[in-house]
Amino acid sequence: MNSSIKHWLYIGSVGFLLSSCADRLNVVPTQTIEQSQALNTEQDVQITLTGAYDGLSDREVYGGAIQFIGDLVGDNRDVLFGGTYATIDEIWRKAVTPSNTVNRDTWLDSYNAINRANNVLSALDKVGESSRGAIEGQALFIRGALYFELVKIYGKSWNDGTPSSNPGVPLVLTPTTSITDADYRARNTVAEVYTQVLADLTKAESLLPTEPDRGMGFASKGAAAAILARVYLQQQNFAAARDAANRVITSGVYSLEPTFADVFSDATNESEIIFKIIVTDQDGVNDMNTFYASALNQGRGDVRVQTKFRQLYAAGDARGTFFNTAGQNTFTSKFNDQYGDVPVVRLAEMYLVRAETNLRLNTSVGATPLADVNLIRARANATPLTAVDLAAILLERRLELAFEGQQLADIKRTAGTVGTTPYNANNLVLPIPQREIDTNKQLVQNPGY
């Protein structure tokens, strides 16, 4: 990491938190705070945790960029990017330059949020026993989820070469408060990053409350288990992915919304969304609305859905009509609300994970693959299937989870292609930002950049 990262990490962890979280916590905004006074009480730690969540919701993190990077790098003209942002156009064209500012800020803002989580973890002795476990679990969830996203963006896929030698991203597990030579870290291997991700999320699941705090958007056991299901699926550890997804499904905490449209309305989606980024007119950003929604829905109308994708849906499937038209262009209706919360993971995905992994393992934990797939199809009024194979389940994932950031991850883990580009092509891994390379000589750039 470079000095600019360290500078902003320090500001984020010691000073900026109290001002950035003022709206949520109703505290007097503070521009600076002495490091020795920053984390002396439980309230300080709780404020810092809220700041970590604020960092998680940045527009270049789960406020939109992580999702549209997964969509657009994995897109094969199912959509057309028609916007004027050259940085996002590069992402869609799979021609990202190391100086790309969206790429830069995704790295920087993710590490900023991780450092805030590290500050929380470093000060758990200031927290009372009754709340210590939950606070630790929240910080571990943030750190584990973000390292998973970072290693997917900047490292080779688990099934591409040797994870124990492929470079991932630097693991920073303690707070950064000043800059020395020791702070310029080399990249840990993909395997090392995954090991840390699994450790963080597994412990988080054990510590977090069962019931989600939907009003504040804090994580619960179900959120940690759902991200674990994604991690294990990416590693092709199908039994562990199945079991994690099954824990979410059988917890009794979540249920599918009655209609597909209900899933994407803040007024009706409380039961299905497992984890989301809270957006209000005072705080948070929904960049999925910014780029995916039409001008009629307060968006820029940049990501335009093409006929070839819409034709994947059979007649009668409600998901195939969940689009809107403005002028000559068609847009997904998933993000029509400018102040709508940004879904990160939802229950329907867990049913599809369980279906796929049960099929691969020839098991029926929780339900048969056919039953799980047809449950999702029934909600969309799609014709039930009489049998399923792997191709049918993977197609169901595309139909259900389109525009939610999972496209590239699915292509990579199944060794597929983006058009004619193979899953392990250099340009499907984003470059380490140039400002990091210029400052931290221990960082090695990804091939092809």
Consecutive H or E run containing 437 = helix 434-439
Of the listed ranges 113-122, 211-220, 230-239, the one predicted with least confidence: 211-220
Of the listed ranges 26-35, 211-220, 309-318, the one predicted with least confidence: 26-35
The span from the CA of 440 to the CA of 408, in Å, is: 29
Q: Is the pLDDT of residue 329 over 90?
A: yes
pLDDT in tens, 54-105: 999 999 999 999 999 999 999 999 999 999 999 999 999 999 999 999 999 9
User: Hey, which bits of 251-350 come out as E strands?
Assistant: 273-277, 303-305, 323-326, 329-332, 342-346
Q: Is the pLDDT of residue 27 over 70?
A: no
pLDDT in tens, 352-409: 999 999 999 999 999 999 999 999 999 999 999 999 999 999 999 999 999 999 999 9
Residue-range domains of the chain with CATH: 3-282+340-422 (1.25.40.390)
- Rounded mean pLDDT, 334-360: 98
For residue 15, the model assigns a pLDDT of 39
Q: CB-based contacts of 237: which residues, under 8 Å, 6+ apart?
A: none
Q: Are 86 and 102 in contact (CB under 8 A)?
A: no
For residue 358, the model assigns a pLDDT of 99
Q: Is the pLDDT of residue 190 over 70?
A: yes
Name the token pair of 382: 């799609």
For residue 177, the model assigns a pLDDT of 80
Of the two residues 120 and 23, the one the predictor is more confident about is 120
State the pLDDT confidence band at 283, using cuts at 50, 70 and 90. Answer: confident
pTM: predicted TM-score of the whole model, two decimal places: 0.92
Q: Is the pLDDT of residue 6 over 70?
A: no
